Amino acid sequence: MTQLSVNINKVATIRNARGGNMPNVVKFALDCERLGAQGITVHPRPDERHIRYADVHDLKPLLTQEFNIEGNPVSKFIELVNTIKPAQVTLVPDAEDAITSNAGWNTIKHEEFLRKVVSDFKNHGIRVSLFVDPNPEMIRKAAEIGADRVELYTEAYATNYSAGPEKAIQPYVEAAKVARECGLGLNAGHDLSLENLTYFHKQIPWVDEVSIGHALISDALYLGIEETIHQYLECLK
């Protein structure tokens, strides 16, 4: 079964808007695990506008499911990840001022840099996933670099889904096949939702993990977190 990793950044955004510790990010993460999520994702950015580096340290000893830390591998991030040693690190080429991730790696252009970073994390026993667009060339190079998985950047799929699911999914199916041929594990994330997740999973049932934050937290405002996680897990059956 494809695993559901809940990205809790938006919970931290709400907390930070008022100060204090409401909602409690750690408690929320533990509740997500208790309710069936198979993983927790955080994406600490240098300005700590949502998840703080301290949150990552607080979460690590308490989580019982897979911990995935996303981010641009600047020196501070590398140090954090190698200290925490999560199950997985997902490398994302986002600028410091980016509102959210908006592109995958050019693994050809950044091959030398990524080889060093991937090797360093793997030497610390951490599984490494590279955030990529559904581009076969970039996926093949990710495998050559030594990544364990790729995470397909699914914004284009989500944007085009309502106009035609078959056309929207096609480049992702091809990309997923290339990843499988290269021996890479496969993750997916960005703008996946209750509207489009079931179709995505039916077309690419071998995806290992989906990481979902914004849509899931938004749905929880209406449905409650227990029912929301239940519905997302149903999409992945």
pLDDT digits (tens, 9 = 90+) for 151-207: 999 999 999 999 999 999 999 999 999 999 999 999 999 999 999 999 999 999 999
pLDDT confidence of residue 101: 61
User: What's residue 42's pLDDT?
Assistant: 98
pTM: 0.95
Alpha helices, DSSP H only, in the chain? 9-18, 25-34, 53-59, 75-84, 111-123, 136-145, 155-160, 165-181, 197-203, 214-223, 225-235
N- to C-terminal Cα distance for the chain? 7
Six token digits for residue 113: 């840099």
Find, among 173, 190, 231, 22, the residue nearest to 100 by Cα.
190
What are the residue numbers of the active site? 43, 70, 190
Question: Which ranges of the chain have pLDDT less than 50?
Answer: none
CA distance 121 to 119: 6
Contacts with 44 (C-beta within 8 Å, 6 or more apart), sequence order: 51, 52, 53, 55, 56, 69, 71, 77, 80
Check if the beta carbon of residue 91 is closer than 8 Å to that of residue 122: no
My answer on whether omega of the bond before 23 falls inside 30° of 0, hence cis, is yes
